[in-house]
Structure 1
């Protein structure tokens, strides 16, 4: 697969070591970069492949009241997975973020998706690369799904750090943002309540449903709604959107749906196969 240069007029999915490939991309060639790197959880990220079986004693109810049970497909996994453990996590990320800074256009934005374990160290690193004055927001993506801790408050959020190349000149099309319901609609009147409001820096959004059509089976897939919000507000039609930890390709779907060009990079062959299937009509 050709991994040299970046064609601004075509969508691309590239199988490559992202650092080597980033070093070949032109200066100021992407208006928006979103990355969702490994979170350094110390685990191997895998998602088991499941199937439903008709069983009148099962715990799930389907059409017509029929009951089913869920089973793990023996020996099957969705993709090869990847090791999410690093001896020097910021040392791994720093050269890639330095390349991201170089590749961003003068009015471009970086969105860096991480979790509570590493966000503080990553922010210090990004402050050093971009400058503290170019830090715009820490967005909290809050959700409510999954296991509940018994000895501490359950961790049900991710952190998304937004940096710009320039502290004052950057793309921010707030009018393009989806609107959300007021938490206390009776306090704002019927007209405002019907229109809804633009989000704050806390984004309440469910995870990808384990049984929904959006699910690809990729272990760390992020919701399309989150990526669409970022793409619509922080880029313009015709812009190039780069994701070099592309995974399941959600960034590419969001970009293509809103007439942006996408460049997706991943070194996992199974991830690249998945993205090519998912984005076939845009290639």
Structure 2
């Protein structure tokens, strides 16, 4: 398998074709089991030097291009039954120093955490990343849900790849409270990610 290949297909069938311990990083973003009919518009966001309507990281401007819509029923009677074989295969193919990320929401994250603890071992749970955002509809009947959960596990609890020095830095919220050099360099992200596009 080529280095840095992204595969877009049913992950269970693809994972079964891979040899044990052969993948450095796995990111799975399954359906969220919302119990609703879903329709998702496919959008492409492009850099727009002419003054796009969206402003992203670093003040760059973007525009959204509508690519059409697709619909599906996001209902599973047994969500973990659907997910479990995929998690087991992911664990099997994960390299000894590899990382596994599962992206879910508040409906299933707690069940998935227990399942992943059983498959990977509780000690191999490294972190939960909260992906926060502020776009989309607002509820008038409960707190608006404005985050997703990403569970990070490794094959080995102590020996894993983490490129701390290579990650993009973000600005300090109060740059006047740190020295000029630190403010210019920025800080490393935390486990709460704000999505602005």
Q: TM-score, normalized by length of structure 2?
A: 0.81
TM-align CA RMSD = 2.4
Counterparts of residues 131-150 of structure 1 (less than 5 Å): 131-150=121-140
The structure showing larger relative contact order (alpha-carbon pairs under 8 Å, at least 6 residues apart) is: 1
Corresponding position of 1:32? 25
CA offset digits 1:40-68 (Å, max 9, x no partner) = 01123323479xxxxxxxxxx98xxxxxx
Which consecutive segments of 4 or more residues in structure 1 shift more than 3 A?
8-15
1:9 and 1:152 mapped to 2: Cα distance? Answer: 45
Higher strand share: 2
1:172 and 1:49 mapped to 2: Cα distance? Answer: 32
Corresponding position of 1:42? 35
- Whether the 8 Å CA contact 1:46–1:77 is kept in 2: the answer is no
Give the 3 Å change call, closer, same or farther, for CA 82–29 of structure 1 in structure 2.
farther
Give the 3 Å change call, closer, same or farther, for CA 29–82 of structure 1 in structure 2.
farther
Corresponding position of 1:89? 79
Q: TM-score, normalized by length of structure 1?
A: 0.57
Counterparts of residues 205-224 of structure 1 (less than 5 Å): 205-207=195-197
In structure 2, list runs of 5 or more residues that go unmatched: 44-51, 54-65
Cα distance, 1:152 vs. partner? 2.2
Instruction: Find the partner of 1:124 among 101, 111, 114.
Output: 114
1:18 aligns with 2:8: no
Corresponding position of 1:154? 144
In structure 1, list runs of 5 or more residues that go unmatched: 1-6, 51-60, 63-72, 208-283
1:163 and 1:13 mapped to 2: Cα distance? Answer: 20
Counterparts of residues 242-253 of structure 1 (less than 5 Å): none
Cα distance, 1:188 vs. partner? 1.1
Corresponding position of 1:163? 153
- Whether the 8 Å CA contact 1:136–1:162 is kept in 2: the answer is yes
- Whether the 8 Å CA contact 1:107–1:171 is kept in 2: the answer is yes
Give the 3 Å change call, closer, same or farther, for CA 48–13 of structure 1 in structure 2.
closer
SS of the equivalent of 1:81 reads strand
Aligned length: 177
